[in-house]
């Protein structure tokens, strides 16, 4: 036993005492306040801010907060300027319903809940910069939520609508499509009804394409064009604002093609427009051939996508294009002469690889080049889990198809209709149609048309009827001309009364009514087919009308069977697989009959065939999205007032304005008034409507009497932009100062629950893109990396809920084990994004680990140079030190990589192994112990801070430098080599790390256990994997 190592008796580990102590010190020293420091790289790590319910936190909630805290502390130690804020999302139904239940004012209960949440968060020891706290219900905050709404209004992206919307009869409010789960209100579970009412809607569908496409953008473009109509050359049809940009390698040397513009001596790359039906790669090859004359151009890879700003010589103007950057190689020097036109403009130069960067004159393109040459690490624009991307893609639901018009023919003779149908003024005949297309003008002359959307125009010949949604606007007009008006009206009334869930129940038999007296004409073969209405057709998808092809569609099939409608089978009016289409108006079908089970016709025609058919019948090829516009008003009290004033007078003067006057920006915020009764009215009016003092205002335009909008915004409004406000929480003049926004944007890491995939994350991306378009933010996407938190389930495996009585309160765990143990345990449970059941008995393991680290301190001996020990003592210390160095330096890399990859469980496991190994050693140095503390400090900050200061450090471990592994200290001299015979482990031996393959092979043959297996057998071959194994293959 080495006695000099004995220290004064170490105080026992007491988490409660040390955790309080350090939390106070951290707060008073303001060590965690974020600053824009241009000398440092920034790191913005964000939690999905909590919704402070009355229940308080359970142990599942902190999991994500602990992870971001680890990342925040880790990145700070790595020298980043870190932004790690926290705030509260407190408007909306749950807070209001809770207040109603407890008969308190929502403002009061929110205040109480926030205080409680904050306290619960504080005992975890997170390094939040509380000076940046935001609260969505604070007028200083929602002033800017309202401001964003006004900008949306200005751009025509917010509008009033009277279409039927989803209505929750229990919560007494309209709901967005995203707020519905299986036909029920996501909040209260009530069956959702369809109810027509005035509401505010945001045109999120205008952004559908970008929301979808940008999920796949891989690199970071600096610019983004939202609109563009350029063609490249007069008369040349090219894809809108799409370009290709080519880096072309020499056929022999490591040189690259540089275009020199003769006129201004500007150097650049081959640029070209991408034609319709041409891929970026094809365009790149074509343009390179056209501009340089080189004949044999080979595609190698796509380097990335960016926006290209350049001067186009031929048209003499500046151009911007969304560009794909391709890397090409020339096969040989064969070259045709190029056109004179091209010759005049440019020359070709070959430049060395190292000079390429000089003629790539833009940062983002340089970045791509660096990516190709391996100098830059690939960074995705959206480094999101594939599953979330897929969820969003499915939610946005893009599909391409044809809009096809069916002429309506009313049988005047049959129904005795007068030639002139009484006009119903102003009613629109088509969805989004022109307002002049009133029924009388259209039906006279039988030129009224029903427009359908289909993804299978190739089945057009099999259409045997057309179905409209009961809510389709045309149905109301047809009522005047059909024979069975009352029957149809009854059906419409019935489906109106049915809830969404009843209507969409798949097991339900199809229902519907024919509109008798009306036929439509199939434009493919001029055949007359009947028109039906049925609730299996959705009013708000496509055009609200379908062409029914019972032979090719299950739903149409069920409907046709039920009502005895003909089933006609498309027998290829054309060869489905050929690109050449021969069209004719001859009926290209046979009676369906017994062919139902035939698989002969399951093939879909190619897209080009379908496009040709569409053109043949005068239809349009279009893209449709499942995504619906965002119903943005709630008939409830607890939300941001929509900053709009209704003025009848201004309506008279300006019919286009419909009497909507935006609240002037200077008058913001429109403060939510205090109110005695905030019970929802259920009438479609919010409780605010009852406060006449608040409602009645002067019109800001004409100064006449006017009324405030009384609907409020949905819960998702405030959370759609809060991450921006953290960057500059107290700015009175703008939403966020552009300088600060440029420094901190975008969010580098966003951690939260997967349940927000199709709501918050779509809404926030939508608002962010809009804010980008109006110049309020500088990036096109708000969150670079997104990470899910896997739920922590109750010990019984069910969701943690009061209902099941399986809720574990983190406060209790902190009391018994300490916050550090809770933090370590939640991270050690398993993979971070995985759902795992809580196990209270397992926490003791991480607590034991902390105690081991605590006791390990007793093994510290002073550094060799400072001691005056006897030789044998010194020798043993030196031996220990070598061993300990190897152990500790090996784990640095492992922990660093694991934190980078969010593999917290394996990082902790590696630290446990390290501590176990160090325990087996007699002595360690202070330096080695310090490395251990630094590595552990993001996970268990309190105990590490305590030990760090106990061994004599004055500055906090939070600002210590993250250790870097010294490779010379960590390498083993010897490794264990496994020996396999025919792939099965039979023995092992030790060998020095630099042994040659032949050496290893020879040694392997000599291993005792192996020898007996080799006896009398011939060796076929031997596989040597250096530092790992030798496999001897026998005949």
Partner RNA sequence: GGGCACGUGGCGGAAUUGGUAUACGCGCAGCGUUCAGAACGCUGUGAGCCAUGCUCAUGGAGGUUCGACUCCUCUCGUGCCCACCA
Residues 985-1004 that bind RNA (CB under 7 A): 985-986, 988
* Torsion angle defined by CA atoms of residues 902, 905, 906 and 907, in that order, rounded to the nearest 10 degrees: 70
Q: What angle do CA 772, 778, 780 make, to 5 degrees?
A: 55
Please report, for residues 197, 576, 1000, the alpha-carbon distance to residue 1030 in angstroms, rounded to integers and kept in the order given. 77, 57, 7
Site for RNA (CB under 7 A): which residue of 224, 251, 299, 541?
A: 541
Taking the alpha carbons at both ends of the chain, their separation in whole angstroms is 56
The tokens describing 944, both together, are 């590490």
* DSSP count for the chain of H helices, then E strands: 34, 40
Using the contact rule CB under 7 A, the part of the chain among 574-582, 735-743, 993-1001, 1021-1029 near RNA is 1021-1029
Per CB under 7 A, 576 contacts RNA? no
Using the contact rule CB under 7 A, the part of the chain among 523-531, 712-720, 831-839, 860-868 near RNA is 831-839
d(CA 676, CA 688) in angstroms, rounded, equals 10
Residue closer to RNA (CB basis): 507 or 730: 507
Per CB under 7 A, 390 contacts RNA? yes
Helix (H, G, I), strand (E, B) or coil at 919: helix
Residue closer to RNA (CB basis): 157 or 846: 846
Site for RNA (CB under 7 A): which residue of 538, 596, 878, 959?
A: 538
Per CB under 7 A, 845 contacts RNA? yes
Residue closer to RNA (CB basis): 589 or 772: 589
Beta-strand pair 747-752/705-708: unpaired
State the chain's maximal CA–CA distance in angstroms. Answer: 121
Site for RNA (CB under 7 A): which residue of 980, 995, 1000, 1004?
A: 980
Site for RNA in 916-945 (CB under 7 A): 916, 919
The tokens describing 57, both together, are 């936190």
d(CA 617, CA 649) in angstroms, rounded, equals 48
**Cβ(123)–Cβ(714) below 8 Å:** no
| Nearest approach, Cβ of residue 939 and RNA (Å) | 13
| Nearest approach, Cβ of residue 460 and RNA (Å) | 11
| Nearest approach, Cβ of residue 764 and RNA (Å) | 17
Query: What percent of the residues of the chain are helix, what percent strand, and what percent coil, each to the nearest 5?
Result: 40, 20, 40
Q: Residue 847 carries which DSSP code? A: H
**Cβ(746)–Cβ(781) below 8 Å:** yes
Q: What angle do CA 851, 856, 859 make, to 5 degrees?
A: 155
Binding mask of the shown chain, residues 22 to 41, with x at each position contacting RNA by CB under 7 A = --------------------
| Nearest approach, Cβ of residue 874 and RNA (Å) | 26
Residue closer to RNA (CB basis): 27 or 1033: 1033
Residue closer to RNA (CB basis): 392 or 881: 392
Q: What angle do CA 638, 678, 139 make, to 5 degrees?
A: 35
Residue closer to RNA (CB basis): 408 or 846: 846
Residue closer to RNA (CB basis): 80 or 847: 847
Q: Residue 687 carries which DSSP code? A: G
Residue closer to RNA (CB basis): 152 or 827: 827
Site for RNA (CB under 7 A): which residue of 81, 219, 239, 454?
A: 454
Q: Residue 769 carries which DSSP code? A: H
Residue closer to RNA (CB basis): 420 or 985: 985
Task: Report how many residues bind RNA under the rule CB under 7 A.
Answer: 85
Site for RNA in 135-194 (CB under 7 A): 180-182
Please give the full DSSP string across 397-458, using - where no structure is assigned: -EEEEEEEEEEEEE-HHHHT--SSPPP-TT--SSTT--TT--HHHHHTTT--EEEEEES-GG
**Cβ(622)–Cβ(460) below 8 Å:** no
Binding mask of the shown chain, residues 542 to 561, with x at each position contacting RNA by CB under 7 A = xxx-xx-----x-x--x---
Per CB under 7 A, 831 contacts RNA? yes
Site for RNA in 715-754 (CB under 7 A): 754
Per CB under 7 A, 14 contacts RNA? no
Residue closer to RNA (CB basis): 42 or 765: 765
The tokens describing 220, both together, are 């970071």
Give the length of the chain. Answer: 1035
Using the contact rule CB under 7 A, the part of the chain among 103-111, 719-727, 737-745, 900-908 near RNA is 900-908
Inter-helix orientation angle 843-856/904-919, to 10° = 50
Binding mask of the shown chain, residues 901 to 920, with x at each position contacting RNA by CB under 7 A = --x-xx-xx--xx--x--x-
Per CB under 7 A, 13 contacts RNA? no
Site for RNA in 461-520 (CB under 7 A): 469, 503-506, 508, 510
Site for RNA in 849-868 (CB under 7 A): 849, 851-852
Per CB under 7 A, 982 contacts RNA? yes
Using the contact rule CB under 7 A, the part of the chain among 103-111, 602-610, 726-734, 1025-1033 near RNA is 1025-1033
Site for RNA in 1001-1020 (CB under 7 A): 1009
Q: Which of 300, 295, 245 is nearest to 274 (CA)?
A: 245
């Amino acid at each position: 036993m080495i006695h000099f190592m004995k220290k004064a008796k170490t105080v026992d580990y007491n988490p409660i005492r040390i955790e309080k102590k350090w939390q106070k010190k951290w707060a008073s020293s303001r060590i965690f306040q974020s600053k824009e420091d241009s000398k440092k790289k920034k790191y913005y790590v964000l939690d999905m801010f909590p919704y402070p319910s009355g229940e308080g936190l359970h142990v599942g909630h902190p999991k994500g907060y602990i992870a971001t805290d680890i990342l925040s502390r880790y990145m700070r130690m790595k020298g980043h300027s870190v932004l790690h804020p926290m705030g509260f999302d407190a408007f909306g139904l749950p807070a209001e319903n809770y207040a109603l239940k407890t008969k308190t004012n929502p403002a009061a209960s929110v205040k109480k809940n926030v205080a409680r949440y904050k306290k619960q968060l504080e005992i975890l020891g997170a390094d939040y910069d509380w000076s940046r706290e935001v609260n969505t219900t604070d007028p200083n905050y929602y002033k800017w939520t309202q401001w964003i709404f006004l900008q949306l209004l200005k751009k025509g992206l917010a509008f009033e609508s009277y279409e039927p919307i989803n209505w929750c009869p229990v919560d007494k409010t309209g709901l967005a499509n995203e707020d519905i789960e299986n036909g029920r209100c996501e909040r209260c579970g009530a069956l959702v009804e369809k109810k027509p009412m005035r509401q505010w809607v945001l045109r999120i569908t205008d952004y559908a394409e970008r929301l979808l496409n940008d999920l796949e953008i891989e690199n970071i473009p600096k610019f983004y064009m939202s609109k563009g109509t350029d063609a490249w050359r007069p008369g040349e049809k090219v894809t809108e604002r799409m370009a290709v940009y080519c880096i072309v390698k020499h056929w022999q040397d490591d040189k690259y093609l540089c275009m020199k513009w003769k006129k201004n001596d500007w150097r650049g790359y081959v640029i070209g427009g991408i034609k319709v039906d041409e891929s970026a790669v094809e365009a790149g090859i074509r343009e390179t051939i056209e501009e340089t004359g080189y004949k044999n151009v080979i595609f190698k890879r796509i380097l990335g996508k960016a926006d290209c700003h350049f001067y186009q010589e031929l048209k003499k103007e500046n151009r911007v294009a969304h560009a794909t950057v391709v890397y090409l190689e020339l096969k040989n020097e064969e070259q045709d002469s190029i056109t004179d036109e091209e010759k005049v403009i440019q020359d070709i130069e070959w430049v060395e690889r190292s000079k390429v960067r000089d003629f790539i004159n833009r940062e983002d393109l340089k970045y791509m080049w660096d990516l190709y040459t391996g100098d830059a690490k690939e960074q995705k624009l959206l480094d999101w889990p594939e599953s979330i991307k897929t969820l969003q893609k499915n939610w946005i639901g893009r599909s391409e198809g044809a809009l096809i018009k069916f002429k309506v023919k009313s049988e005047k003779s049959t129904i005795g209709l007068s030639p002139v149908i009484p006009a119903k003024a102003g009613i629109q005949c088509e969805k989004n149609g022109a307002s002049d297309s009133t029924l009388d003008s259209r039906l006279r002359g039988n030129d009224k048309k029903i427009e359908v959307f289909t993804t299978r125009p190739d089945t057009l010949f099999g259409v045997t009827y057309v179905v409209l949604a009961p809510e389709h606007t045309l149905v109301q007009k047809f009522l005047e001309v059909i024979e069975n008006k009352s029957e149809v009206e009854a059906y419409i009334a019935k489906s109106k009364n049915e809830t969404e869930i009843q209507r969409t129940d798949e097991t339900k038999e199809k229902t519907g009514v024919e509109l008798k007296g009306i036929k439509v004409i199939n434009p493919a073969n001029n055949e007359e087919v009947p028109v039906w209405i049925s609730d299996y057709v959705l009013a708000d998808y496509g055009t609200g009308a379908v062409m029914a092809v019972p032979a090719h569609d299950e739903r149409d099939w069920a409907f046709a069977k039920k009502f005895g409608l003909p089933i006609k089978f498309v027998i290829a009016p054309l060869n489905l697989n050929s690109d050449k289409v021969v069209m004719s108006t001859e009926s290209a079908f046979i009676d369906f009959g017994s062919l139902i089970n035939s698989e002969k016709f399951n093939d879909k025609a190619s897209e080009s065939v379908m496009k040709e058919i569409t053109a043949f019948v005068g239809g349009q090829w279009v893209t449709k999205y499942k995504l619906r516009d965002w119903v943005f008003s709630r008939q409830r009290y607890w939300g941001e007032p929509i900053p709009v004033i209704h003025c009848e007078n201004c309506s008279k003067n300006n019919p286009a304005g419909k009497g909507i006057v935006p609240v002037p920006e200077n008058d913001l915020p429109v403060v939510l008034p205090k109110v005695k009764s905030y019970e929802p009215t259920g009438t479609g009016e919010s409780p605010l409507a009852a406060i006449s003092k608040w409602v009645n205002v002067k019109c800001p335009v004409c100064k006449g009497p006017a009324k405030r909008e009384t609907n409020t915004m949905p819960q998702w409004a405030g959370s759609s932009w809060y991450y921006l406000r953290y960057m500059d929480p107290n700015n009175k003049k703008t939403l966020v100062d552009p300088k600060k926004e440029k420094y901190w944007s975008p969010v580098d890491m966003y951690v939260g629950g997967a349940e927000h995939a199709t709501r918050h994350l779509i809404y926030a991306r939508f608002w962010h893109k809009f804010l980008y378009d109006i110049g309020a933010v500088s990036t096109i996407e708000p969150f670079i990396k997104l990470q899910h938190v896997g739920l922590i389930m109750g010990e019984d495996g069910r969701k943690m809920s009061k209902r099941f009585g399986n809720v574990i309160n983190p406060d209790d765990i902190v009391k018994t084990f300490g916050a550090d143990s809770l933090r370590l345990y939640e991270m050690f449970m398993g993979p971070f994004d995985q759902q795992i059941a809580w196990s209270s008995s397992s926490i003791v393991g991480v607590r034991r680990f902390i105690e081991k680290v605590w006791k390990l301190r007793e093994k510290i001996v002073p550094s060799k140079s400072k001691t005056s020990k006897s030789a044998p003592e010194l020798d043993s210390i030196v031996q220990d030190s070598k061993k300990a160095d190897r152990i500790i330096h090996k784990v640095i890399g492992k922990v660093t990589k694991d934190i980078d990859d969010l593999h917290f469980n394996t990082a902790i496991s590696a630290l446990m192994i390290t501590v176990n190994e160090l325990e087996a050693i007699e002595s360690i140095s202070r330096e080695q112990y310090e490395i251990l503390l630094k590595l552990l400090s993001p996970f268990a900050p309190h105990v590490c801070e305590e030990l760090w200061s106990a061994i004599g450090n004055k500055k906090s471990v939070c600002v210590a430098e993250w250790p870097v592994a010294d490779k010379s200290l960590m390498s083993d001299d010897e490794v264990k080599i496994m020996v396999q015979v025919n792939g099965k482990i039979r023995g092992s031996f030790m060998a020095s790390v630099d042994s040659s393959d032949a050496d290893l092979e020879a040694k392997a043959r000599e291993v005792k256990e192996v020898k007996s297996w080799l006896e009398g057998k011939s060796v076929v071959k031997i596989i040597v994997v250096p530092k790992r194994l030798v496999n001897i293959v026998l005949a």
